[in-house]
A and B are shown apart, each in its own frame.
Chain A
Amino acid sequence: MPSDHKTGLRWSNWNLLLILPLFMLITPWFNMDEPRIFGLPFFYWYQFLFVPLGVVCVGLVYVKTKDEPVVTGKLDKLGVDDLDEGAN
Chain B
Amino acid sequence: MQWTELIVFSALFLLVTVMGFLAARWQKGDTLEHLDEWGLGGRKFGSWITWFLVGGDLYTAYTFVAVPALMFGAGALGFYALPYTIILYPLVFLPLVRMWSVSRVHGYVTPADFVKGRYGSHWLALIIAVTGIVATMPYIALQLVGLEAVLRSMGLNGSGILGHLPLFVAFLILALYTYQSGLRAPALIAFVKDILIYLVILVAIIYLPSKFGGWGEIFNDAQAKFDATPSKTDGILLTGTNQLQYATLALGSALALFLYPHSLTGILASRGRNVIKRNMVALPAYSLLLGLLALLGFVAISAGTKPIVNQATGRPDTNTIVPELFGANFPSWFAGIAFAAIGIGALVPAAIMSIAAANLWTRNVYKEYMKKNATPAEEAKQAKLASLVVKFGAVAFIVFVDPQFSIDLQLMGGVMILQTLPAVAIALYTRWFHVYALVAGWIAGMGYGMWLLYNIGNPAIGKAHFAGSALPLGNISVFGWHPFGASTTQIYVGIVALLVNLVVAVVVTLIAKKAGWFNGTDQTDPSDYHVDEDNPRVKPIAAH
Q: Chain A's nearest CB lies how many Å from the CB of B102?
A: 11
Total contacting residues, chain A, CB less than 8 A: 44
Q: Chain A's nearest CB lies how many Å from the CB of B450?
A: 26
Known contacts A18-B90, A40-B215, A50-B83; A58/B238 CB under 8 A: no
Determine whether the beta carbon of B218 is less than 8 Å from that of A39: yes
B: interface residue count bin? 35 or more
Residues of A within 8 A of B86 (CB): 21, 24, 47, 50-51, 54
In B231-252, the 8 Å CB interface with A consists of 236-238, 243-244, 246-247, 250-251
Query: Which of B's residues lie within 8 Å of A, judged by CB?
Result: 76, 79, 82-83, 86-87, 89-91, 93-94, 214-219, 236-238, 243-244, 246-247, 250-251, 274, 277-278, 280-281, 284, 287-288, 291, 295, 429, 526-527, 529-532, 535, 537
Determine whether the beta carbon of A27 is less than 8 Å from that of B535: no
Determine whether the beta carbon of A44 is less than 8 Å from that of B238: no
Determine whether the beta carbon of A3 is less than 8 Å from that of B93: no
Determine whether the beta carbon of B280 is less than 8 Å from that of A47: no
Contact with A39, one of B216, B246, B251 (Cβ below 8 angstroms)? B216
Binary per-residue interface labels of chain A (1-40) against chain B in the complex, 1 for a CB within 8 Å, 0 otherwise = 1011111111000010111111011111001110010111
Q: Chain A's nearest CB lies how many Å from the CB of B536?
A: 8
With both beta carbons as reference points, the residue of chain A lying nearest to B287 in the complex is identified as A51
Contact with B87, one of A5, A17, A54, A61 (Cβ below 8 angstroms)? A54
Determine whether the beta carbon of B237 is less than 8 Å from that of A3: no
Residues of B within 8 A of A43 (CB): 76, 79, 236-238
Residues of A within 8 A of B219 (CB): 36, 39-41
Determine whether the beta carbon of B531 is less than 8 Å from that of A3: yes
Residues of A within 8 A of B527 (CB): 4-7
Q: Chain B's nearest CB lies how many Å from the CB of A54?
A: 5
Residues of B within 8 A of A32 (CB): 237
With both beta carbons as reference points, the residue of chain A lying nearest to B280 in the complex is identified as A58
Contact with A48, one of B90, B238, B291 (Cβ below 8 angstroms)? B291
With both beta carbons as reference points, the residue of chain B lying nearest to A22 in the complex is identified as B87
7 pairs of A and B residues whose beta carbons are closest in the complex = A39-B216, A39-B215, A8-B526, A18-B90, A27-B243, A25-B247, A59-B281
Kindly state the separation between the CA atoms of A31 and B529 in the bound complex, as whole angstroms: 41
Q: Chain B's nearest CB lies how many Å from the CB of A83?
A: 16
Does A55 make an interface contact (CB < 8 A)? yes
Given contacts A40-B219, A55-B284, 11 further A-B contacts (CB under 8 A): A4-B530, A4-B531, A4-B535, A4-B537, A6-B526, A22-B90, A24-B86, A44-B79, A51-B86, A54-B90, A54-B287
